[in-house]
Amino acid sequence: MNVIECEHLTRKFGRIRAVDNLNLGVPKGCVFALLGPNGAGKSTTLKLLLNLLRPTAGRATVLGCETTRFKKDQFQRIGYVAEEQIQADWMTVSQMLDFYRPLYSGWDATLESRLRAQYELPEGQQLKRMSRGTRMKAILLSTLCFRPELLLLDEPFGGLDPQVRDDLIEGLLETLSGDRPATVVISSHDISEVERLADWVGILSEGRLLVAEPMTQLQARFRRIEVVGPGVGEKRIDPLPQSWLKFQSPTPTVVQFIHQAFGEAGVAEAQIREFYPQAAVSASPMTLREIFLAHGRRAIPSKGEEAQ
């Protein structure tokens, strides 16, 4: 069962399509990492899922409720943390928690005290006087304590030092490890940290969803291929198979590319052998960062190129 369902979700700002025909399903209980370069539409997607923005076209359903019909009760089950949010920063941590606590029926006081101890927050200091990382901790704390069923995090680790990141992640993991594991959607640039948490990955580029699948499947599907043999670099292949990305030949005897459909190894190898029957072929697994960069550098043709 999917916690989030998007059908042809589109949001335009003037002529710019920030989110373009997004079809997405996020299964319950997963940690979904929404990756993409700047301006890819990650934050806009999250805002559409929270009904902060209204879709230009299409629809999105979150926890079984269409976003445009969100009421107060939906936010008893959804947590949202974003750096850009305007908080009542005149409050201290205690005042903030005192303010939020009565608003939630499922507030977990035990988790609150545990996280307060773990995060070591300065209780009497106003939010506006806190460092960025401490402030994020306080806000995350106020979000985790009501044990949301769905947690949306918009660039939660941006600009934080490793110690603070670890603290935040520990808190997140603790929430996820409870008897009611939450579904988490994280939009981030910080791929290495996300990689530790995420079990599903979605990659957005120019408002369009390029990839959305389990992390293991994604990593199994992508391989860096190196073909070595006499004259392989001089051989012209036209057109290139669609599953080959970033094809290049650094030397006349070497060809490198990324194969994005390597899941069935036998089939992929046979396809390569079809073009390079005598060459030595090696396939090495890729990190999430490499996969992301492969997409981020326009490895997939843009709309204009497709049209041509």
Residues that bind another protein (CB under 8 A): 47, 50, 52-53, 71-73, 75-76, 78-80, 82, 84-88, 90, 95, 99-100, 102-104
Q: Which residues pair with 183 in a beta bridge?
A: 150
Rounded to whole angstroms, the Cα distance separating 305 from 221 reads 24
Taking alpha carbons only, the member of 152, 148, 144 closest to residue 43 is: 152
Taking alpha carbons only, the member of 67, 93, 90 closest to residue 80 is: 67
Instruction: State which residue, 139 or 176, has the beta carbon closest to another protein.
Output: 139
Instruction: State which residue, 84 or 305, has the beta carbon closest to another protein.
Output: 84
Q: 10 Å Cβ neighbour count for 251?
A: 10
Instruction: State which residue, 106 or 231, has the beta carbon closest to another protein.
Output: 106
Residue 221 Cβ, how far from another protein at the closest point, in Å? 35
Instruction: State which residue, 98 or 161, has the beta carbon closest to another protein.
Output: 98
Residue 153 Cβ, how far from another protein at the closest point, in Å? 12
User: DSSP states of 290-304 as a string?
Assistant: HHHHHHHTT-S--HH
Residue 84 Cβ, how far from another protein at the closest point, in Å? 6
Instruction: State which residue, 151 or 245, has the beta carbon closest to another protein.
Output: 151
Residue 288: strand, helix, or coil: helix
* H-type alpha helices, 152-282: 162-176, 191-197, 215-221, 265-275
Rounded to whole angstroms, the Cα distance separating 229 from 275 reads 12
Rounded to whole angstroms, the Cα distance separating 134 from 160 reads 9
Residue 138: strand, helix, or coil: helix
Instruction: State which residue, 96 or 232, has the beta carbon closest to another protein.
Output: 96
Residue 163 Cβ, how far from another protein at the closest point, in Å? 25
Q: Could you give the angle at the alpha carbon of 54 between the alpha carbons of 81 and 40, nearest 5°?
A: 60
Residue 99 Cβ, how far from another protein at the closest point, in Å? 6
Instruction: State which residue, 47 or 147, has the beta carbon closest to another protein.
Output: 47
Taking alpha carbons only, the member of 279, 236, 227 closest to residue 258 is: 227
Residue 87 Cβ, how far from another protein at the closest point, in Å? 5
Residue 82 Cβ, how far from another protein at the closest point, in Å? 8
Residue 9: strand, helix, or coil: strand
